[in-house]
Amino acid sequence: MLSRIMSGSIRNLDREYDCTVRLLDDTEYTCTIQRDAKGQYLFDLICHHLNLLEKDYFGIRYVDPDKQRHWLEVTKCIAKQMKSQPPFTMCLRVKFYPPDPAALKEEITRYLVFLQIKRDLYHGRLLCKTTDAAMLAAFILQAEIGDYDPGKHPEGYSSKFQFFPKHSEKLERRISDIHKTELIGQTPDTSELNFLQKAQMLETYGVDPHPCKDVSGNPAFLAFTPFGFVVLQGNKRVHFLKWNEVTKLKFEGKIFHIYANQKEDKKIILTYFAPTPEACKHLWKCGVENQAFYKLEKSSQVRTVSSSNLFFKGSRFRYSGRVAKEVMEQSAKIKREPPEIHRAGLVPSRSCPSITHGPRLTSVPRTRRRAVHISIMEGLESLRDSAHSTPVRSVSHGDSFMPRSRSLARDASEGSAVISDEAYSPSDSMLPTPVAEHSLELTVARQVNGAPCSIKEEKESEAGTPSLGDAGDLSDSRATVEGAEGASPLSEVEQVNTFVLSVLRLLLVTIGLLFVLLFLLIVLTESDLDVAFLRDIRQTPEFEQFHYEYFCPLRQWFACKLRWAGSLLINK
């Protein structure tokens, strides 16, 4: 009896496994699910736990043993997607950034998006001018600790908190001044809303960077935002394509292509190289999902997309879910009492310390600060003197889903693609950018949005997640334009090889189809199968004419040749 119970328990354990999902406030949700459970089941469990209805903006992210990021596909079995052994650890993150966070229906949704953007700010994915940075940090202070109180908040209290990869004393004083004087009386939800409205005006809002290289080998960062596809190099946004301009995304191995039609029927092709084929496929899938979510009017318009022009080659992928317009329409129908939000008592973050817990890092020796400061200045000089600068096209964001305030800001800044010209200056910084010990290249500063900045990976919660500082120095863009000159010899050879492989595949498939047709023809003419549809085909006048005028003479010719070849073999 005991052995029977134990064997039954072992069988149940084989069918179930534990799964831990780290939420945006760094708490953990652990559950036991069936081995054949699909991603949608786990996602619904988490949304129910959070009392979240506007869930289409979020997704579950995991990292495989090769440190490659993936979004959990809700239509597929969880166990088949994971390359590691259970128990599994994943993260809840914002997958599709709302084009206008202020338009979100419920406060719980805005709060979760606020936590995500605060994380982006800390890890350097959301970079901005010093004035904007001070305002964003002050909103965070007001949302989490309330009004300034001299009894609770001594002089220099803002220096105890970590908002960005780097801090300066001047910036900390500016944050304190704004918090003390301009935000008095704001409730947490009001401060969070103001934070979101300020953040969504920035060029890097919604950027989840994918490190790549252009055809000249210069590092670049590709990203998909609510408004289109962007390429960041140096302190510039060197390419921006609206979603309605992007016609096709495809990849072949490590090579990623973006096809677009711009004004006056100008067709362009941008080509970049990902670190690995897996990273390139992840980039492609992210692009397909973002384009479908933000561009289409209805989810019924979603089609299966192939990574190649030929149906028998490459990967096939289909976005499953509602599109942005449907999500907003559905959100407008929500009618319920606002759920309670527990803002206090956050667990200290392992990757993005909550400002109510994590002190500012001050343990870097003075000698090391000076060494990093010198390397930063050298890196800036190399960027300034770089001979790889190219003219930057002036573009503006698309109008779809764009708030009026953002559109007006675009009109005011049209003609400049420089993201920021006055950001965190190395001379003003009291804390050097964290330097990864495993890479000497990271001792040279990276400058994105005008801010030399190296971003630490989100360890433990998102192991292996690339950030804007993970791929070394940023330079100006090199992208292949249709008909443009100067493509590298390596890319031309790869293009020829790709074309030859495509032709060979097409030839093999054509030969295979001919053999299949020949087999069906023999079945029709020579077999005695009495199947209804075969009988109907045999009785048609066209088939009878073909059979007697073409097939029978051809069969006799083949039989004659075979007898002749057989006689030759026998005589030898």
For 268-283, what is the HEC assignment? Answer: EEEEEECCCHHHHHHH
Lowest mean pLDDT among 2-11, 150-159, 360-369, 463-472: 360-369
Q: Give me the pLDDT at residue 541, please.
A: 83
When mean pLDDT is compared over 142-156, 481-495, 546-560, the highest value belongs to 142-156
Would you say residue 562 has pLDDT above 90? no
Q: Give me the pLDDT at residue 174, please.
A: 93
What value does the mean pLDDT of the chain take? Answer: 74
Q: Give me the pLDDT at residue 498, please.
A: 74
497 against 318, higher pLDDT:
318
Q: Give me the pLDDT at residue 240, please.
A: 92
The predicted-structure confidence for 523-536, as pLDDT tens digits, reads as follows: 777 777 777 777 77
Q: Give me the pLDDT at residue 161, please.
A: 87
Query: Hey, which residues does 273 pair with through a beta bridge?
Result: 213, 255
Helix 130-145 and helix 169-181, axial crossing angle in degrees, nearest 10: 50
396 against 89, higher pLDDT:
89
Q: Are 124 and 467 a contacting pair, CB within 8 Å?
A: yes
Q: Give me the pLDDT at residue 420, please.
A: 47
The DSSP call for residue 417 is: -
Q: What is the pTM of this model?
A: 0.67
Q: Give me the pLDDT at residue 3, please.
A: 55
Q: Is 242 helix (H, G, I), strand (E, B) or coil?
A: strand
Q: How far apart are the first and last CA of the chain?
A: 78
499 against 58, higher pLDDT:
58
5 against 372, higher pLDDT:
5
When mean pLDDT is compared over 147-151, 286-290, 479-483, the highest value belongs to 286-290
Q: Give me the pLDDT at residue 14, please.
A: 64
Would you say residue 503 has pLDDT above 80? yes
The predicted-structure confidence for 179-197, as pLDDT tens digits, reads as follows: 999 999 999 999 999 999 9
Give residue 49's identity as a one-letter amino acid code: H
Q: Give me the pLDDT at residue 282, please.
A: 95
Mean pLDDT of 164-189: 90
Query: Mind giving me the DSSP string for 549-565?
Result: IIIHHHHHHHHHHHHHH
Q: Give me the pLDDT at residue 310, please.
A: 56
Q: Give me the pLDDT at residue 234, please.
A: 77
When mean pLDDT is compared over 295-309, 317-331, 393-407, 555-569, the highest value belongs to 317-331
Burial of 3 (0-12, 13-18, 19+ CB in 10 A): exposed
Q: Give me the pLDDT at residue 464, please.
A: 41
Q: Give me the pLDDT at residue 269, please.
A: 92
Q: Give me the pLDDT at residue 57, please.
A: 97
Integer Cα distance of 230 and 240 in angstroms: 5
Q: Are 323 and 293 a contacting pair, CB within 8 Å?
A: yes
Lowest mean pLDDT among 170-184, 269-283, 321-335, 488-502: 488-502
418 against 362, higher pLDDT:
418
Q: Give me the pLDDT at residue 4, please.
A: 53
Would you say residue 315 has pLDDT above 90? no
Would you say residue 358 has pLDDT above 70? no
Q: Are 200 and 403 a contacting pair, CB within 8 Å?
A: yes
Would you say residue 96 has pLDDT above 50? yes
Pick from 430, 424, 416: nearest CA to 446: 424
Q: Give me the pLDDT at residue 422, please.
A: 35
23 against 411, higher pLDDT:
23
